[in-house]
Amino acid sequence: MGSALPEQEITTKDINRRIYEATGLEITNGLVERLTGVRARHYRAADEQSSDLAVRAARQAIERADISVDQIDLIIFAACTQDISEPATANIVQEKLGANNSQVLDVKNACNSFLNGLDVADSHIRCGKSRCALVVSGETLSIGIDWKIHNLDELKSRLAGLTLGDGGAAMVLVAAPESEGRGILTTRFRSYGEMWRLATVLAGGSMHRMDERFSYFRSESAKLRDAAYEFIPAMVESVFEASGWKPTDVEVACGHQVTKELVHGLAKVCNVPTESSIITVEDYGNTAAASIPIALAKAYDQGKLKRGTKIMLAGGAAGFSVGVIPIIW
């Protein structure tokens, strides 16, 4: 595992000041933190791209895995943001890493992009198409924040944007004998496409092209929260049945992190020990597709990932989609 954060840290007070400078609207100090649990987040430098954060994290993961870049035969870039519309940002990651022996592609599914990327990499390895895969995420979400908030109604639809943070993460996966009993046990995904309007950045496609008016993040946070509580627990339960685990078997839980309350609330509903949850949202904000692997990298840094550790990765994403992956380290 590897992770990377931009140098610039932005606090809640910084957020309030930027909104006031843009519109004159004063937001009560601590409001964002009280509602979301986010104390701080990191924003990219002006010349820092999604691929840069992904590459920094990848280099750390590659060093820890004790492999050379020449051994990597698959690179998957999985994020909400990207450097350019075309070609795939994975090409830029490949060039910066010098991983010339790799097949590359992007996987995009909002905040579940990294989980989907793991699923694709796992499938490649299982069917013998790859021996060593690198899944990376680099999120520069700060570019999609609309600071022009003039009243409380606008604050309601844009509050989630104020929790966004930038960051990158990476995981190296290699083939191992089934007899070792390690790795990704199964994957479970389901989507509810009728809910796609609940969280959007509408620009960049055929609908609105590059119209700046549609280039900002918008969400209906309450409805997304309801969807998470409705659909994620059932998916987690199906994974327990498939893997033979009990909820109390989970030693490390890494969920997509929108608010601290939601992370703990879902753990409680799923009967997973609260202390197993790795919390990053307080200091890094909502880093979208990078949030789950950043949390896993944090667990790695803290020495919580040992041979045989049982890990649950779970995410709910715009779309609306649900993904759950159990792993034995």
Contacts for 70 with CB less than 8 Å, ≥ 6 apart: 99, 100, 101
Q: Please enumerate in sequence order all residues whose Cβ is within 8 A of that of 46, keeping only pairs 6 or more positions apart, or say none.
A: none
Contact indicator for 110, 323 with CB cutoff of 8 Å: no
Q: Are strands 74-78 and 40-43 parallel, antiparallel or unpaired?
A: unpaired
- The answer to whether the beta carbons of residues 233 and 268 sit under 8 Å apart is no
CA neighbor of 71 nearest in space, from 129, 118, 132, 25? 132
* Active site (catalytic) residues: 111, 256, 286
- What single-letter DSSP state applies at residue 183? E
Name the E strands within 64-127: 74-78, 103-107
Whether residue 87 contacts residue 77, with contact meaning beta carbons closer than 8 Å, is answered with: no
Q: How many helices (H) and strands (E) does the chain have?
A: 10, 14
Beta bridge partners of 109: 111
Strands 74-78 and 132-139: parallel
Cβ(161)–Cβ(146) under 8 Å? Answer: yes
Position of tokens 């010339």?
100
